[in-house]
Amino acid sequence: MSHPQTTFKDTVFHGKSILSVRRNTIGKTTLHTQLNQLRSTGRYDCFKLKWHPVYDDKSMGWPVPKHLFWDSDIGKWIEAACYFLHHEQDEEIDRAVQELVQMIRGAQGSDGYLNLHYTVVEPEPSKRWSNLRDMHELYNAGHLIEAALAHHDHYKDDLLLEPMLKYVSYIRETFGPNKDQRHGYPGHPEIELALLRLYTVTGYRDAYDLARYFLEERGNPTGQDGKHYYDWETEQRGESQWKRPDPYPESRAYWYAQAHEPILQQHSVEGHSVRCMYLLTAVADMIYLDLERQAGRRDLLPALDVEAWKTAATRLWSNMVDKKMYLTGGIGAVKQWEGFGIDYFLPQGTDEGGCYAETCASIAVMMFAERLLHLGGTGNPDRRYADVMELCLYNNVMTAMSLDGNAFTYVNQLASSNKDLSARSDWFEVSCCPPNLARLFGSLGGYVWDYGTEGNDAYVNVHLYATAKVTFDVNGKPLTLEQTSNWPWEGTVKFNLSAPPSTNTTIRLRLPSWSGNQYTLDPAPSQSNIGVSQGGYLTLSPSYVSANPSFTISIQGFKPRYITPHPYTNQRTLTLARGPIVYCAEDTDNSWESNHFKDVAISRSGEVKEMPRVDERTSEDYVALQTKGWTRSLSQWDAKQDGESPALSASDESFGEERDLVLVPYYFRANRSGKGHMRVGLLDRCQ
Amino acid sequence: MSHPQTTFKDTVFHGKSILSVRRNTIGKTTLHTQLNQLRSTGRYDCFKLKWHPVYDDKSMGWPVPKHLFWDSDIGKWIEAACYFLHHEQDEEIDRAVQELVQMIRGAQGSDGYLNLHYTVVEPEPSKRWSNLRDMHELYNAGHLIEAALAHHDHYKDDLLLEPMLKYVSYIRETFGPNKDQRHGYPGHPEIELALLRLYTVTGYRDAYDLARYFLEERGNPTGQDGKHYYDWETEQRGESQWKRPDPYPESRAYWYAQAHEPILQQHSVEGHSVRCMYLLTAVADMIYLDLERQAGRRDLLPALDVEAWKTAATRLWSNMVDKKMYLTGGIGAVKQWEGFGIDYFLPQGTDEGGCYAETCASIAVMMFAERLLHLGGTGNPDRRYADVMELCLYNNVMTAMSLDGNAFTYVNQLASSNKDLSARSDWFEVSCCPPNLARLFGSLGGYVWDYGTEGNDAYVNVHLYATAKVTFDVNGKPLTLEQTSNWPWEGTVKFNLSAPPSTNTTIRLRLPSWSGNQYTLDPAPSQSNIGVSQGGYLTLSPSYVSANPSFTISIQGFKPRYITPHPYTNQRTLTLARGPIVYCAEDTDNSWESNHFKDVAISRSGEVKEMPRVDERTSEDYVALQTKGWTRSLSQWDAKQDGESPALSASDESFGEERDLVLVPYYFRANRSGKGHMRVGLLDRCQ
């Protein structure tokens, strides 16, 4: 299993491709501004276990105190920092990581327990694990485990891994199927995927068993004393069911945490979208480990009903992508539970009923997608997953950070409104998203491709295009594959392979769905040398590759195209896209519209012009688009008296003068002056 | 003040006009089936104060027990029964009313207190008034007051009025501004309008003062000990704020009960729609009483800042009608709080995010509208209110009962879905709607017109058209105005006036907005004899009326027309309407569509044919409509692989073969065989 968090080290981005530029910005700027935020907010020193005034602050939604996620903020930042340190030393970052690790070590109890809240704020031992549903102990542990893995990988010591293994051992004793163990699982999944990575890296079997227990036990209606675990622990706390957390619109809304029924029985993605994606990422990891067991590489693991789990994972993926995903790769329409609404409930903005599309959620979709890419076997990656991974990356995820790397979004609406302008913030009280962006970009190289060897055979499956180089060993000698491209603006990607002699290298290149499988390959192959796999990857045979270690693919699909959400969303809008980039209208580029482009229509028959541009401040290239637009007349409604019957004759839909409309990439929004008006889906002029 | 609940007695419906037929059905059938329901469910005998097994049932949403509204169910049925008994004796109904009244009398405490729950289920005196927010004591009292008024009016005795006056006196002592009084108000408004009617009928000043106190105190953020009353009483109960009732999506969601801020400061209708409308009906009554005070007819009442209250009432009316009302007159999109969503959030069905449109809510809109008609003075009724009143009556309200009078709806969605088919039920656990329909139709004559005299001057403002006759005294002699029409199918209404000699009668006839003010009057008037008022009423002067005691108006607007919701609803649908009737498609009349007509489009340019029909079982006339329809192709979506990226090229919208589509009145839905598929708003074909 090659997790991106491990394999990213093999990949170096260079040149001015957008991924490279963005990763650089995070390394040079974002890590530092985030470190400053950690320091100024009290997070940095929290593992000194002194009192901080914020611990008295009860203003967050019940029952979550503001500092509850601080452990994870630290963990995620350490993880990100280590990813960047791997490629480039940075003294301040390095010093901070080391100091944080010392503080974390000092905060661990002698029994292995390690948690800020239950050590400082509610230190009575009986409070530990008393509220798995809400209190994020296991979530925080998960992020610290991930930090430890990154730290171990970079520093090659166990300063953080050792206390985390001790903590995991303690957790493993606490939770499990035995009579004297608790039959619980985290309200916010995360530790499962961390544990499976921990097992993959260290072989520590308890980590696997614990993760598997959490996944298999989740949603058991009679898990503890014949009761749902969250019911049982609620009773243990002496609380009634109606003492429901603020995000619960109803009592026992365990679907909020995907614990309403066992995972294998779930037919739709429900509740908090980040929790759901972290959970399913772990499910995919568990499936993969069983496939490895079947292939004889994990002899000691107990068998899994892998078909049932695969069916559940792909069923939930399809429900999400087909019915609960925005065109930008965002998921989660409902603010109250930061998650999924009913099927096809995908309003573009809060003035239409919601649009959450949390940054972390799309990052987690990328994680889930990356894991799913492995389940078909190395010879059969499925572009459905990589397409969505790329869609998330370039749109919902990349829009979450300003070009200068100093400002972020938590929520990524598709349309602004007066109450929710298109804008970014320096930091958040619940600040999961900014360090998550840093983690993702730190390990981004691991998402670009996967690869492996067996004897003299090697393969590289290329999922993302950029300018980047990967190096890995074949029989102890380095194989290097370099790609050079101006993706996502152009589809021409030049490859250069340097492999040890007698290596049989197969290269698979994703043909994105939107390419319509249209491409040219130079040098031209013979029929027998290539093929397009069922999963949509162009497979270059070892014979083609060895004859042509330098080759160029030109992928089509960079003509602007109209995309539209499913009709059952009631949107009836058109959006412009080009390659993987989804576009939006911003007020800066356009004549003033009073209501966030809500009345602006475009037409499928309208000609679209491309306008290559360079951003003034960052010198970053991008392609803007221009087409014809019209403003819908609301005169019928304006003419109505206030409070007059709604059931009057409808005028024909009418639209104002045709005019030019300029659109920019969605990720680019809110980087210039402007009034924060923005919209992705514009009215379909229907002609 | 002429409340419809009082003036209805002057009006007799006859002929086979739909209102007459429906009222007859309720009198002959519905009252009896509802009486049977009262009996079989335990409600009928509840005031015997014995234990009923349902009192142990805690399965309703917290904190409301199932029997909490039983007092009001009894009250509303008595009220309705008395309205019908007035026009026609019915021995079984009469006997039941008298028995119920005796039981109610027997249930009253010596101090005047009268409530089922706090007498039988939680009888400790300290529990009384301990939870105004949720426990409906004052709501139930209000409905019993209304029952008492109807009972008094029909039986001409005080058997029910006397105990209710005693109860009001007790309540008046309990609540008010004095130090030893509670500064509370009902969580479910209703008693305010009941008290103002009680005052209007009896002159009992305490009733007025109490209602006014409730209205003025509501939403006071510091009303009791410096706290919001609901916060204060929550503390008194020893409960935390997070012990929030099930309909509260968030703690302290006092907007649920329109108590989030003082009424005068409210700018939008929020929360539970029935509560909101009952509250605003009382506000309109309070305003009207102050207008009467200014006119010298209520000398002893303290002055009111009437302009501020009028501004608030009309502002809230406009917000509701313009932004939160369905084309059928339904209000309330959100199931959780049975009420309003954000502006323009008006999905047609639960599969689109909600559609509640409770029967009671539209009945209450009619009450609010009827009150507002009086605020401009007798010479200036405003058709905006009467138009909406009629819209509600013929659509959202009338659809709530089967033609046979035996089945009802609580929720009136504009489109069915697999989970919520278009269907009716015999009864409900919370059964406010069925007896509310009976009350409304019992007193319907009072909504048709209002009228009055001053010396020899008389006026009749005609708001609704039907076949009906009103009789009232002018100087001790009867004036009779009869209208004969086939409304709502035809706009021709024949009037016959019989007035005492030397009476100067002004008649004002509503020209509905949808008529475009187009009408003909026969005999033709001279210019000076008529005029259309600012409020949209055709005013016939005494000279015209005396010269033409028989005249006929033909109001236009019975050609089918397309109506459409505000574009910001994201609906982009067309609905057919004809006069006041809104149409829907039902599966019975049409070729099978698998998904509730969700993909069926019609076009504004499509010719619409009228098809007069007679319902087989009831012999009731109606007009069906036929137009051309198309089914939208979803082939683009069907062709997509499961779980494939949503950001693919959009095909052109395409529609199948043109075919005939038959539409029936919305009120007519679910009266024949069929599979429960129905839709009001059909896709706009945009051409």
Q: Residue B634: its pLDDT value, please?
A: 94
User: What tokens were used for A389?
Assistant: 């991974």
Determine the distance in angstroms separating the CA of A564 from the nearest CA of chain B, rounded to an integer: 6
What is the spatial distance between Cα A190 and Cα A143, in angstroms, rounded to a whole number? 7
Cβ contacts of A331 on chain B, cutoff 8 Å: none
CB neighbours of residue B222 within 10 Å: 12
Token readout for B88 is 């026609």
Mean pLDDT score, A120-130? 96
Q: Are strands A581-586 and A561-563 parallel, antiparallel or unpaired?
A: unpaired
pLDDT at A112: 97
pLDDT at B72 over 90: yes
Find, among A14, A23, A22, the residue nearest to A484 by Cα: A14
Judge contact between B141 and B147, C-beta under 8 A: no
**Closest chain B C-alpha to A532 CA, distance in angstroms:** 17
Positive or negative torsion for Cα B333, B336, B340, B341: negative
Q: Is the pLDDT of residue B240 over 90?
A: no
Q: Give which of B342, B389, B645 to mutate to test A binding, by max A Cβ within 10 Å.
A: B645
Q: Kindly tell me if the per-residue pLDDT of B241 is higher than 90.
A: no
Lowest mean pLDDT among A247-256, A408-417, B414-423, B456-465: A247-256
pLDDT at A244: 86
- Residue in B243, B314, B514 closest to A649 by CB: B514
Question: CA B234 to CA B230: how far, in whole Å?
Answer: 6
Mean pLDDT of chain A: 96
The Cα–Cα gap between A440 and A432 comes to 12
DSSP state of A641: P
Residue A240 has pLDDT above 90, yes or no: no
CA-CA distances (angstroms) from residue A586 to A583, A604, B77, B235? 10, 20, 58, 49
- Using the beta-carbon criterion (under 8 Å), do B646 and A387 form an inter-chain contact? no
Answer whether B571 sits within 8 Å of A570, measured CB to CB: yes
With b meaning 16 or more CB within 10 Å and e meaning fewer, what string describes A218-246? bbbeebbeebbbbbbbbeeeeeeebbbbb
Residue A67 above 80 pLDDT? yes
From CA A137, how far away is CA A142, in angstroms rounded? Answer: 9
d(CA B101, CA B104): 5
Inter-chain residue contact B336 with A388, CB threshold 8 Å: no
Q: Mean pLDDT over residues A276-303, rounded?
A: 95
* CB pair distance less than 8 Å for B647 and A577: yes
Is the per-residue pLDDT at A427 higher than 90? no
Contact B340, B275 (CB under 8 A): no
Q: Check if the beta carbon of residue A18 is closer than 8 Å to that of residue A465.
A: no
Query: Which residue is listed with tokens 């994680």?
Result: A367
Residue B597, pLDDT > 80, answer yes
Give the model confidence (pLDDT) of A520-534 as tens digits: 999 999 888 889 999
Q: Are B207 and B168 in contact (CB under 8 A)?
A: yes
Residue at token pair 């939160």: B324
Lowest mean pLDDT among A37-51, A363-377, B57-71, B457-471: B57-71
Pairing state between β A682-684 and A600-602:
parallel
Please enumerate, as own/partner, the contacts of A590-597 that have beta carbons within 8 Å and a separation of 24 or more.
A590/A661, A590/A662, A591/A659, A593/A631, A593/A677, A596/A349, A596/A351, A596/A415, A596/A416, A596/A417, A596/A418, A596/A677, A596/A678, A596/A679, A597/A415, A597/A677, A597/A678, A597/A679, A597/A682
| Shortest Cα distance, chain B CAs vs residue A557, angstroms | 10
Contact yes or no for A341 and B325 at CB 8 A: no
Q: Which of A347, A514, A565 sits opposite B649 (nearest CB)?
A: A514
Q: DSSP string spanning A276-345?
A: HHHHHHHHHHHHHHHHHHHTTS-TTSPP--HHHHHHHHHHHHHHHHHHSB-TTS-B--BTTTTB--STT-
Q: Is the pLDDT of residue B530 over 70?
A: yes
Q: What is the pLDDT of residues B645-665, one digit of tens each?
A: 999 988 888 999 999 999 999
For A129, the 3-state DSSP assignment is: coil
A241 pLDDT more than 80: no
Domains and CATH numbers, chain A: 1-246 (no CATH), 455-555 (2.60.420), 561-684 (no CATH)
Alpha carbon B228 to its chain's center: 30
Residues 6+ apart with CB under 8 A from B107: B47, B48, B49, B114, B116, B119
In this predicted structure, the answer to whether residue A183 has a pLDDT above a threshold of 90 is: yes
Given a cut of 80, whether residue A366 has pLDDT beyond it is yes
Whether residue A343 and residue B326 make contact (CB cut-off 8 A), yes or no, is: no
Q: Which two tokens stand for residue B604?
A: 């504004």
| Strand A659-665 relative to strand B11-13, pairing | unpaired
| Residue A1 confidence (pLDDT) | 59
Q: With a threshold of 0.90, tell me whether the complex ipTM lies above it.
A: yes
Calpha distance B97→B89 (Å, rounded): 12
CB contact under 8 A, A645 and B574: no
Nearest-Cα distance to chain A for B563, in Å, is: 5
Query: Which residues in chain B have Cβ-Cβ distances shorter than 8 Å to A391?
Result: 645-647
pLDDT at A15 (0 to 100): 87
Q: pLDDT value at position B1?
A: 59
Q: Do A565 and B646 touch (CB under 8 A)?
A: yes
Local structure of residue B396 (DSSP, 8 states): I
CA pair distance B290, B304, nearest whole angstrom: 6
Q: Do B344 and A321 touch (CB under 8 A)?
A: no
Chain B residue with CA closest to A337: the answer is B249
Residue A449 pairs in a beta bridge with A462
pLDDT value of residue B84:
98
CB-based burial of residue A140 (10 Å sphere; 0-12 exposed, 13-18 middle, 19+ buried)?
A: buried
pLDDT digits (tens, 9 = 90+) for A471-513: 999 999 999 999 999 999 999 999 999 999 999 999 999 999 9
pLDDT over threshold 90, residue B528: no
Lowest mean pLDDT segment, chosen from A296-300, A351-355, A547-551: A296-300
Q: Are A71 and A143 in contact (CB under 8 A)?
A: yes
The three-state (H, E, C) secondary structure of A408-452, written as one string: ECCCCCCECCCCCCCCCECCCCCCCHHHHHHHHHHCCHHHHEEEE
Closest CA to A433 of A393, A397, A395, A388: A397
pLDDT in tens, A647-687: 998 888 899 999 999 999 999 999 998 999 999 999 999 87
**Token pair listed for B553:** 């108006």
In the prediction, which pLDDT does B244 show?
Answer: 86
pLDDT tens-digit readout, A191-233: 999 999 999 999 999 999 999 999 999 999 999 999 999 999 9
Q: pLDDT tens across A589-643, in order?
A: 999 999 999 999 999 998 999 999 999 888 999 999 999 999 999 999 999 999 9
**For chain A, how long is the longest CA-to-CA vector?**
82
Average pLDDT of the residues in A240-244: 80
Q: Which of B244, B317, B391 sits opposite A643 (nearest CB)?
A: B317
User: What is the rounded average pLDDT of the residues B88-98?
Assistant: 98
Measured in angstroms, the CA of A668 and the nearest CA of chain B are apart by 18
CB contact under 8 A, B648 and A513: yes
For the cut 90, the answer to whether the pLDDT of residue B242 exceeds it is no
Q: What's the pLDDT band for A58 if we cut at 50, 70, 90?
A: confident
| pLDDT value of residue B516 | 94
C-alpha to C-alpha distance for B363 and A320, rounded to whole angstroms? 40
Render the burial of B252-285: b for 16+ CB within 10 Å, e for the rest: bbbbbbbbbbbbbebeebbbbbbbbbbbbbbbbb
Residue A77's identity, in one-letter code, is: W
In angstroms, the first-to-last Cα distance of chain A is 50
Q: What is the pLDDT of residues B257-285, one digit of tens each?
A: 999 999 999 999 999 999 999 999 999 99
Q: How many CB atoms lie within 10 A of CB A536?
A: 22
For range B4-21, the mean pLDDT: 94
* Structural contact between residues A241 and A231, judged by C-beta atoms closer than 8 angstroms: yes
Tokens of A509: 């290149």
- Decide if B352 and A388 are in contact by the 8 Å CB cutoff: no
Q: What is the pLDDT of residue B653?
A: 86
Q: How confident is the model at residue B251 (pLDDT cuts 50, 70, 90)?
A: confident
> For residue B93, what are the CA distances in angstroms to A56, B145, B406, B628?
64, 19, 16, 49
Q: In Å, how far is B275's CA from the nearest CA of chain A?
A: 20
pLDDT at B66 over 90: yes
